[in-house]
Amino acid sequence: MPNDFVPVARPHLGQEEVSAAGRAILSGWVTQGPEVAAFEREFAEFVGAPHACAVSSGTTALHLALLAVGVRPGDEVITVSHSYIATANSIRYCGAKPVFVDIDPATFNIDPRKIEPALSKRTRAILCVHQMGMPCDLKAILEVARKHQLPVVEDAACAIGSEISWQDRWERIGRPHGDVACFSFHPRKLLTTGDGGMLTTADAEIDHKLRLWRQHGMSVPDTVRHSSREVVFESYPELGFNYRLTDIQAAVGREQLKRLPEAIAQRRQMAARYRQLLADIPGLVLPAEPEWARTNWQSYCVRLPEATNQRQVMQHMLDEGIATRRGIMCAHLEPAYSAPATWRCAQIECKPDGSCPNLAESERAQSRGVILPLFSQITEEQQDRVARALRQACSIRIQG
């Protein structure tokens, strides 16, 4: 790519992370160990959670969270199709079926009004997604969940540092407000360890299950066994997984956590600047926070004017040296979900092409949304270029 190319995202890593990784490597303990334990403590303190358990990815976090709240083969889990496919996949890993409900177009998040009509006798849990860092309406979701005695798992993969107004005070996503919250440390996220994840919960029993299952169900953690002055024989009382985070990753994560408040403040300034630059483009819909939410602005997704073509707009931007991404995918439109038995929605038949009238807002968000470049190192000049190119692209009439 040319030197002036503007990527859609770029991880913010520096010498501090290099030194931290080197510290872990030279310590001789490079898999799950003391750095992971320290990262868990610091992460829990940051979000205000009693417990935090590190794992190998956001996807494995979702899988363990669903198992921990009791999702088993034959169950159903209410969620959105409009999310990265890992959300729906994690339900299927449990042998359960995702039940897709539509989103609120104002926030790209699950529409709480659509949850209750989608419930069945097989419903075991609700999996809500804080899409692109924008908090869900947890108050409304939890009202439905408690009415029907259902656990709530928060897919907070993108939402580290986002906040919600809760009982007249601002609290960070991950406190958690549901039963378990799941985070991702993929390079697209504000906090990255290359890959990795974290689960937070207020339930000590759930935390115990997560720690057991992430390491093959081993009864004694490595840290306990290696520090014991007596010989310890571990056992494996139940089936587990190899979902550990390494100490190298955790050491990097600890440095990233220190950067996080500044990174969020920067993104909020950048998002405000985009709003100023783009406000007068006819027909363009800009993202906005509900009064009860503060997003970390992990992504800045606009809705294109109706008279434009998404692919043509994105190609024009790319021709100008600017990367974009289409709106968040819909799992039900992917080949992996083409079989009717893989998912369910409310009682409206899907069309032969796989589209679903019951998920119209989700499909529209994918086909009309464009994610613009946003990262810690983006300059005002780069934002100006993005705005100019988008303005030009939105003036081009649909071709073909």
Beta bridge partners of 184: 197
pLDDT for residue 234: 81
> What token pair was written down for 163?
């906040």
- Please tell me the predicted confidence (pLDDT) of residue 400: 47
For residue 226, what pLDDT is reported? 66
Task: List 98's β-bridge partners, or say none.
Answer: 77
Residues 264 and 379 in one domain: yes
- Residue 78 main-chain phi, psi, to 5 deg: -75, 130
Question: Residues 210, 278: one domain?
Answer: no
Asked if residue 81 belongs to a domain, the reply is yes
Same domain, yes or no: 218 and 326 = no
Q: Is 189 in the active site?
A: yes
Sheet of 123-129: strands edge to edge? Answer: 51-55, 197-201, 180-184, 152-155, 123-129, 76-80, 97-101
Catalytic entry in 189, 209, 258, 351: 189
Asked whether residue 289 is assigned to any structural domain, the reply reads yes
The residue out of 257, 278, 311 marking a domain boundary is: 257
Is-contact 77 66, C-beta < 8 A?
yes
Per-residue pLDDT at 370? 98
399 within domain boundaries: no
Q: Are residues 248 and 308 in the same domain?
A: no
Is the domain of 173 the same as that of 267?
no
Which three-class secondary structure state does DSSP give residue 200? Answer: strand
Same domain? For 246 and 122 the reply is yes
Q: Of 197, 229, 257, at which residue does a domain stop?
A: 257
Q: Is residue 5 part of a domain?
A: no
147: domain CATH number? 3.40.640.10
Task: Please confirm whether the linkage preceding 352 is cis (ω < 30° from 0).
Answer: no
Chunked mean pLDDT (size 10), the chain, 400 residues: 88 97 95 96 98 98 98 98 98 98 97 97 98 98 98 98 96 95 97 98 98 90 70 85 97 98 97 98 96 98 96 97 97 94 76 78 97 96 98 79
| Residue 306 domain flag | yes
Q: Please check whether residue 4 lies inside any domain of the structure.
A: no
Q: At 389, which CATH number?
A: 3.90.1150.10
Strand 123-129 with 152-155, pairing: parallel
Cα–Cα dist 48/392, whole Å: 45
For residues 201 and 286, membership in a common domain is answered with: no
Which of 288, 331, 341, 318 shows the shortest CA–CA distance to 390? 318
pLDDT in tens, 104-159: 999 999 999 999 999 999 999 999 999 999 999 999 999 999 999 999 999 999 99
For position 353, what pLDDT does the model report? 64
DSSP code at position 286: P
* Residue found under tokens 């303005």: 391
Query: Is the same domain home to 178 and 307?
Result: no
For residues 378 and 270, is the Cβ–Cβ distance under 8 A?
Answer: yes
Residues 212, 270, single domain; the answer is no
Residues 365 and 334 reside in one and the same domain: yes
User: Residues 19, 162: one domain?
Assistant: yes
Specify the pairing of strand 180-184 against strand 152-155.
parallel
Structural domain of residue 253, as residue ranges? 15-257
Q: Are 173 and 232 within one domain?
A: yes
Confirm whether 113 is domain-assigned.
yes
When divided into structural domains, the chain yields a total of 2
| Whole-number Å distance between alpha carbons of 60 and 53 | 11
Q: Which of 215, 235, 257 is the last residue of a domain?
A: 257
> Which run of H or E residues covers position 301?
strand 300-303
Other beta carbons within 10 angstroms of residue 357's beta carbon come to: 13
Question: Residue 286's CB: how many other CB atoms inside 10 A?
Answer: 14
Long-range contacts of 378-385 (CB under 8 A, 24+ apart): 378/6, 378/270, 380/273, 382/6, 383/270, 383/273, 383/274, 383/277, 384/277, 385/6, 385/320, 385/321, 385/322
Indicate whether 400 belongs to any domain: no
